[in-house]
Amino acid sequence: MPPPESSGPPLIGPLIAQLRLARRWSQPRLAAELCAVSDVPTLGRHEISRWERQLRVPGDFWLGWLAVVLAVPVALLVEAATRTRSLGTAPAVVGARSRSALLALAQRWLLDPGDPSFAAATGWLPPTGPPTGAGAAPPTGVPALPPAGAGQPPPTGVPALPPTGPVDRSAEVIRLAELRRLDDLSGGAELSGIGFSWLRRVARASSEATPVDRRRLLPVLAETAQLCGWLAADAGAPTDALEAYRFGLRAAGAAGDPALAGHLLGSASHLLASVGDPHGALVLARTGYAGCHTVASPRLRALLLHRIALAAALGGRHQPARCALAAAQRAADRVEEDREPPWLYWVDGPELAAMTGRALVVLRRPRRAVALLGVGQGSGRPRSGAVYGGWLARAHLQLGEVEQACAVADDALLDAVRAGSPRAVTQLTAVRRGLAPHRHRQPVRRHLALVAAAGPYLPRPVTGSRPDPTDRTAPPVGNGGADRPGTPARRGPGGRTGSSVRPVVGRPNGGRAARRTDGRAATHSETG
């Protein structure tokens, strides 16, 4: 099997995971294959998991045998391991435990979509989710956005919370569609609490329903979880979002709906890409596409291919990104409106054009990106204007058009205030970084003054969401020793000896931890 294409050396964890998934092997299956060929019976799935999460880097002994069982050149694996050690790469710290659990569940779903454990697990109640409201309180003298939670009326147009009691599937579908449409105009900071309340109610009703009624509710449960994940991510609560996506994947698996499961994984992929984890994002996007592309509608295939393209581009894999963009265009050309799922109504022509333009900005092809990103401007969706306006400003900066970049960024900033989306604000942070070298110019000074004036009114991440117990920076560990303490060095198939070591965790900024404690996304955002 040929190795995944890349414009540069990949990291060892995602590389092993992608090669394994390409063979449709589970982690226990890979461990068993390695034990069989190496005559070392003690390797288990937990060590495979550590390699893929980059808690450890396999030494030469296991790199040689991995090359044998995965049928790839050993030099590819050695180069990936060397790069991983040199970068001191650790797993993503944003929602690390939730991320690992979702990646593992995604692999289980791909290998066995009909796993009966999915149906059993949907009886669990979903996470509480982030609180409803606008997040952190604004500075003194600035009026706060009213929360839409208990004791307060919801934002104008929000469908009323369903009463307690039996759940009517048709009514829930209508309410869900209303909340999706409202999400086009309002942000997750105001809507996420309402969404999670609905999710808990539908989950409870599903667990108490008869088998027939429960089967009918499972697709609604999965779709509600997907929307809750999106709202939580938009509100700046990535851990809650990942938990909602994982819950939704269980429900979609139990419902036997691979298309919805693929959409859930694509949504989670976009979240990981937005918080600086393009490799995890690529694994999820490819897993979602592999598991549903034979039954997915053309629009869903196009969306998942765009998820792959963005993750690949952000990870430096330019050729796979370009291939995914071309495949997405072919899929989009086959869209038939009457055959598309209603939950993809927002993936229209301007949205797909903007997604392509965004990826082209990452690929450093700004001239074509400017034309594509301009298609969706003025659509009446403030979050789209803020997010894609940020990408358009970055494209102008790549072309050296500072004045045009400032004009676009001004409009995007005002859209960010209107949107109520903390995640939309993060895209504009990247624009300000790009403008920093030109801060002496008058258009840049005007834009920075507008940023300062709008700052108190910009949405902030919700507070009080459930913390991830693994959200911490691991201590550095020495780079030597055998695979396990007290174990002599072993010889690989090429006669080399090596060790499996834990990579040193990098500490940028003079040794200060480079993570955010408020859960905000780093630089990348999308609208739907």
Q: What is d(CA 299, CA 313) in angstroms, rounded to the nearest whole number?
A: 21
- What DSSP designation does 456 have? G
Quote helix, strand, coil % in the chain, to nearest 5: 60, 0, 40
pLDDT at 266: 98
In-domain check, residue 492: yes
Of 95 and 275, the structure prediction assigns the larger pLDDT to 275
In-domain check, residue 306: no
What does the pLDDT average to over 511-525? 37
pLDDT tier, 130 (very low <50, low <70, confident <90, very high otherwise):
low
Least reliable range by pLDDT among 187-196, 461-470, 512-521: 512-521
Q: What is d(CA 63, CA 66) in angstroms, rounded to the nearest whole number?
A: 5
In-domain check, residue 335: no
CA 303 to chain centre: 13
CA distances from 465 to 7, 133, 158, 397, 423 (A): 38, 12, 22, 36, 15
Tokens 């009026």 belong to 143
What does the pLDDT average to over 93-114? 86
pLDDT tier, 96 (very low <50, low <70, confident <90, very high otherwise):
confident
Least reliable range by pLDDT among 23-27, 276-280, 283-287: 276-280
Domains of the chain: total: 1
Residue 36's domain is classified under what CATH number? 1.10.260.40
What does the pLDDT average to over 359-376? 92
What does the pLDDT average to over 88-92? 52
pLDDT at 369: 96
| Cβ atoms < 10 Å from Cβ of 386 | 28
What does the pLDDT average to over 251-271? 96
What are the two backbone dihedrals, phi and then psi, of residue 413, each rounded to the nearest 5 degrees? -65, -45
pLDDT tens string 229-248? 999 999 889 999 999 999 99
pLDDT at 119: 73
**Which of 124-128, 181-185, 367-371 reaches the highest mean pLDDT?**
367-371
Q: What is d(CA 491, CA 284) in angstroms, rounded to the nearest whole number?
A: 34
What does the pLDDT average to over 51-56? 86
CA distances from 348 to 119, 150, 309, 352 (A): 33, 36, 18, 6
Q: What percent of the chain has pLDDT over 90?
A: 41
In-domain check, residue 269: no
What does the pLDDT average to over 475-482? 31
pLDDT tier, 296 (very low <50, low <70, confident <90, very high otherwise):
very high
pLDDT at 378: 63
**Which of 349-358, 477-486, 508-517 reaches the highest mean pLDDT?**
349-358
In-domain check, residue 382: no
pLDDT tier, 172 (very low <50, low <70, confident <90, very high otherwise):
confident
In-domain check, residue 50: yes
CA distances from 525 to 91, 181, 264, 387, 436 (A): 21, 19, 17, 6, 21
pLDDT at 53: 85
C-alpha triplet 266, 269, 270: angle, nearest 5°: 90
pLDDT tens string 383-431? 888 999 999 999 999 999 999 999 999 999 999 888 888 888 888 888 9
In-domain check, residue 377: no
pLDDT at 394: 95
pLDDT at 322: 96
Least reliable range by pLDDT among 14-28, 105-119, 249-263, 438-452: 105-119
Domain that holds residue 43: 12-90+474-498
SS3 62: helix
What is the torsional sign of CA 16, 18, 22, 25? positive
SS3 363: coil
CA distances from 243 to 69, 196, 456 (A): 33, 11, 30
pLDDT at 167: 57
Least reliable range by pLDDT among 281-295, 437-451, 454-468, 481-495: 481-495
pLDDT tier, 161 (very low <50, low <70, confident <90, very high otherwise):
very low
In-domain check, residue 321: no
Q: What percent of the chain has pLDDT over 70?
A: 74
CA distances from 360 to 204, 254, 355 (A): 44, 37, 9
Res. 450: pLDDT tops 60? yes
Q: What is d(CA 463, CA 133) in angstroms, rounded to the nearest whole number?
A: 9
Res. 505: pLDDT tops 70? no
pLDDT tens string 308-359? 999 999 988 999 999 999 999 999 999 988 889 999 999 999 999 999 999 9
Res. 142: pLDDT tops 50? no
pLDDT tier, 61 (very low <50, low <70, confident <90, very high otherwise):
confident
Retrieve residue 488's tokens: 């002599």
Res. 501: pLDDT tops 90? no
Mean pLDDT of the chain: 78
Q: Which of 115, 111, 52 is nearest to 290 (CA)?
A: 111
pLDDT at 128: 62
The long-range contacts involving 152-161, CB below 8 angstroms and separated by at least 24 positions, are 154/190, 154/194, 155/182, 155/186, 155/190, 155/191, 157/182, 157/185, 157/186, 158/182, 158/191, 158/194, 161/194, 161/197, 161/198
DSSP string, 295-321: TS-HHHHHHHHHHHHHHHHHTT-HHHH
SS3 497: strand
Of 399 and 46, the structure prediction assigns the larger pLDDT to 399
Least reliable range by pLDDT among 48-62, 399-413, 434-448, 477-491: 477-491
- What DSSP designation does 324 have? H
